[in-house]
Amino acid sequence: MIFLDEDTRCVVQGITGKQGSFHTKSMLEYDTNIVAGTSPGKGGQEFEGIPVYNSIAEVKEEMDVNASIIFIPAPFAKDAAFEAISQLELAVIITEHIPVHDSMEIAQYARKNNCKLIGPNTPGIITPGVGKLGIMPTHIFNPGNIGIVSRSGTLTYEVASQISNAGLGQSTCLGIGGDPVVGMDFADVLQKFEEDPGTQA
């Protein structure tokens, strides 16, 4: 498995929004280790038993987190991404239609801060049997040793389904993102798979 394992402790940025709340429920049902959410102005609330804070900085004052999944509308996504990248090891940006110039700044900032950036416009990442940071359907995945990386979410699902139907399973599956500018690319992810003892193909 790569990027997402038993030690991943995630904050959901935009947890109280329509997309954030819907997919947080799905991630929790898959036993993903979501420890907090952020939504400016809504600190002190709870969602599905998860404490909500105004910022990642507030979260880190009270608990250890090392990953973020971002469900923030495109006009505000850059600020949210910078907030995550500056403080965490992994940032997954689900948001689509982020302006290209913003995406360029986000990707450059991630490289500068040595943060693993997945997306923008990604279905996310799933390590079957461990958790998911994303919007993918979980029933098509089985734990195994085959790694999947794709630009297309739909293609990721199709390949995973074929592998599962053949009686095999996946180590980690992720979409790098469908936008012109993304964080990690195929070469970055394939290198991580190559180094991962749990991925054999």
Q: Check residue 142 and report its DSSP letter.
A: -
Note whether 113 and 97 are within 8 A (CB). Answer: no
Helix (H) or strand (E) holding 82: helix 74-85
Tell me how far apart the alpha carbons of residues 92 and 94 are, in angstroms, rounded to a whole number: 6
Residue 113 CB-density burial (10 A; 0-12 exposed, 13-18 middle, 19+ buried):
middle
Q: Which of 34, 72, 63 is nearest to 50 (CA)?
A: 34
Band of residue 192 on the pLDDT scale cut at 50, 70, 90? very high
Average pLDDT over residues 29-35: 98
Residue 127 confidence (pLDDT): 98
Give the pLDDT confidence score for residue 184 in this predicted structure.
Answer: 98
Average confidence (pLDDT) over 107-130? 98
Q: What is the pLDDT of residues 39-50, one digit of tens each?
A: 999 999 999 999
Average pLDDT over residues 151-155: 91
Q: How confident is the model at residue 1 (pLDDT cuts 50, 70, 90)?
A: very high
Instruction: Tell me the longest C-alpha to C-alpha distance in the chain.
Output: 48
Length of the chain counted residue by residue: 201
- Other beta carbons within 10 Å of 74: 15
Q: Name the CATH topology of 10-195.
A: Rossmann fold (3.40.50)
Domain limits of the chain?
A: 10-195
The confidence score (pLDDT) of residue 52 equals 99
* Cα distance between residue 84 and residue 77, in whole Å: 11
pLDDT score of 14: 98
